[in-house]
Amino acid sequence: MESQKTDPLLEAIRITMPVMFGYVPIGIAFGLLVTHYGFNWLYSVLMSIVVFSGAAQFIAVALAVSGAGAIEIVLTMLFLNLRHSFFGLSLLNKFEGIGRIKAYLVLALTDETYALITGHNVPERVSSSRFYAYVTGLDHLYWVTGTAMGALLGKVLNMNLNGLEFSLTALFVVLSIEKYRSAKTRFPFIAAIVSGIIAMLFAGSQNMLLVSIIIGTFLLLVYEKINNGVQTDDR
């Protein structure tokens, strides 16, 4: 895009802004929920630091309060978070040789961070490890800050943030359009529409994303197999 010298931190702040507008209000809601259940505010912040997964945290707290057993919690978490494994599969080479920061990038990978680092190019003359670390670190910071705000000031703030989380939906819409423009093949989008609709209709809301990713991956692999069998060079 712009060919001028870009400061990697400023660029990271710029591209993570929509995530900030999503994470802070959802973090506030999480912090509020945990203190509402009567836990010390520190637990919500601690959880946001070490877990850093919105859906998992909300459901873990809900399960804990409903008195669910350890096995139920383990299985629910496992299925809920298995999508992260799929994200990692497509990042193996991107994160290769990235240095010591790799462990942090892997352990703090969220849906939104994945979308940002696969949807944006690393600015020129900036090391990818530094840029990815800024993006991941900023997203993490927004989440923890939001949680602390909700836990400490939630009742005082009384802000009307209804609907602000739509910025995450809008971010994914924008990044999908960008991906579509630069795409060499349209099939991933067709696979997403088919598997997305099937999963929305037939999978429970907790497993919708995982189910759609599994169906979509299957479609991608089958399509590749058929295409390679018929023609060897299609682009």
Alpha helical stretches, state H, 37-121: 41-50, 54-65, 70-89, 102-107, 111-119
Site for other proteins contains 167 (CB under 8 A): yes
Site for other proteins contains 205 (CB under 8 A): yes
Site for other proteins contains 188 (CB under 8 A): yes
Q: Which of 9, 77, 126, 153 binds other proteins (CB under 8 A)?
A: 77
Q: How many CB atoms lie within 10 A of CB 165?
A: 16
Q: Which of 24, 32, 60, 138 binds other proteins (CB under 8 A)?
A: 60
Site for other proteins contains 220 (CB under 8 A): yes
Q: Which of 9, 13, 39, 41 binds other proteins (CB under 8 A)?
A: 39
Tell me the window of 79-87, 127-135, 140-148, 149-157 that interacts with other proteins (CB under 8 A): 79-87
Site for other proteins contains 13 (CB under 8 A): no
Q: How far apart are CA 100 and CA 69, in angstroms?
A: 37
Decide: helix, strand or coil at residue 162.
Answer: coil
Site for other proteins contains 189 (CB under 8 A): yes
List of residues 6+ apart from 181 with CB closer than 8 A: none
Stretch 130-159 residues interacting with other proteins (CB under 8 A): none
User: Residue 83 or residue 149: which is nearer to other proteins going by CB?
Assistant: 83
Q: How far apart are CA 157 and CA 101, in angstroms?
A: 36
Closest alpha carbon to 115 in 175, 182, 169: 175
Q: Which of 4, 93, 158, 231 binds other proteins (CB under 8 A)?
A: 93
User: Residue 102 or residue 130: which is nearer to other proteins going by CB?
Assistant: 102
